[in-house]
Amino acid sequence: DTEVTQTPKHLVMGMTNKKSLKCEQHMGHRAMYWYKQKAKKPPELMFVYSYEKLSINESVPSRFSPECPNSSLLNLHLHALQPEDSALYLCASSQVPEGAWSNIQYFGAGTRLSVL
């Protein structure tokens, strides 16, 4: 089973709202990722967690706050977003890349976020 589950599937929020996106996997992966994807563009990496610790932050604005409460769960807390933050937010997981090897990232179906 290579399933990554994201909730909710769709989210509409105002610029003053606080909301959270959730991601769950049960593949035993210890690396988890958040991506942002705008229409007709490839996914852009936002954050990477490895062994529940934040390893990569691609200079993402502080209105996006990631959290990895355990090895199966990944959250993205949203606050004071702007309309330009509207996008498809994707979660992915993989085994932790070790040495020179790469590991397959498995993606969830995404959360379609609209900021009004």
Partner 1 sequence: EDQVTQSPEALRLQEGESSSLNCSYTVSGLRGLFWYRQDPGKGPEFLFTLYSAGEEKEKERLKATLTKKESFLHITAPKPEDSATYLCAVHSTDSWGKLQFGAGTQVVVTP
Task: State which residue, 11 or 105, has the beta carbon closest to partner 1.
Answer: 105
Q: What is the contact surface with partner 1 in residues (CB under 8 A)?
A: 2, 4, 6, 31, 33, 41-43, 45, 48, 50, 55-56, 58, 88, 90, 92, 97, 100-110, 112
Name the minimum Å distance from CB 5 to partner 1: 11
Cβ-based neighbours of 30, under 8 Å, separated by 6 or more: 50, 51, 52, 71, 95, 96
Q: d(Cα 72, Cα 108) in Å, to the nearest integer?
A: 13
Task: State which residue, 79 or 106, has the beta carbon closest to partner 1.
Answer: 106
Q: Residue 78, Cβ neighbours under 10 Å: how many?
A: 20
